Amino acid sequence: MVSFTVNGVGHSFDGDPNTPLLWYLRDELGLNGTKYGCGTGLCGACTIHLDGQAVRGCLATVAEAEGAAVTTIEGLSPDGNHPVQVAWRELNVPQCGFCQAGQIMQAASLLAATPNPSDAQIMDEMQGNICRCGCYQRIVGAVRRASTGV
């Protein structure tokens, strides 16, 4: 039995502890905002927070979440108005939108640790999150906007 919180709510799981958090969140809790993109930590579509740190939900297992606070896109902000989410909307970042939850979770984690990153830091921190539609120009712009308010 593994116990942890997801978006502030306590959960325990007695299934296979090696289940990746991605599949636990989607299949067991029905939290579908976290996306499957590659299953090998190469694309970032499944990015969630484990105790505030961005991790890949396809690699992190339920066992690794023991005692931790798991946050998904659904729990990033109670009203959907985290500064990163707001900046994303202000700059019309998404095209298809599929990778965006992972991008937003990665950006929120970056800004929590580094409130005023340089462009080089943003590009470096965000390079693990692929956007096939190619929204990077606006992604970098939205992270900058969320960090500085302009």
- Interface residue list for other proteins (CB under 8 A): 16, 19-20, 23-24, 26-28, 30-40, 42-43, 45, 72-74, 76, 80, 85, 88-89, 92, 94-101, 104, 122-124, 126-140
Closer Cβ to other proteins, 38 or 112, answer by number: 38
* Least distance from other proteins to the Cβ atom of residue 57, Å: 12
Question: Is residue 150 helix, strand or coil?
Answer: coil
Structure tokens at 106: 């990665």
Query: In whole angstroms, what is the distance from residue 46 CA to residue 35 CA?
Result: 5
Which strand (E) or helix (H) includes residue 99? none
Closer Cβ to other proteins, 12 or 89, answer by number: 89
Tally of CB atoms within 10 A around 128: 15
**Are 100 and 108 a contacting pair, CB within 8 Å?**
no
- HSE-up of residue 142 (Cα within 13 Å, Cβ side): 26
* Least distance from other proteins to the Cβ atom of residue 84, Å: 8
* Least distance from other proteins to the Cβ atom of residue 138, Å: 7
Closer Cβ to other proteins, 48 or 68, answer by number: 48
Return the residue matching tokens 């700059």. 91
* Least distance from other proteins to the Cβ atom of residue 91, Å: 10
Closer Cβ to other proteins, 99 or 111, answer by number: 99
* Least distance from other proteins to the Cβ atom of residue 66, Å: 18
Which amino acid, residue 85? Q
Closer Cβ to other proteins, 3 or 32, answer by number: 32
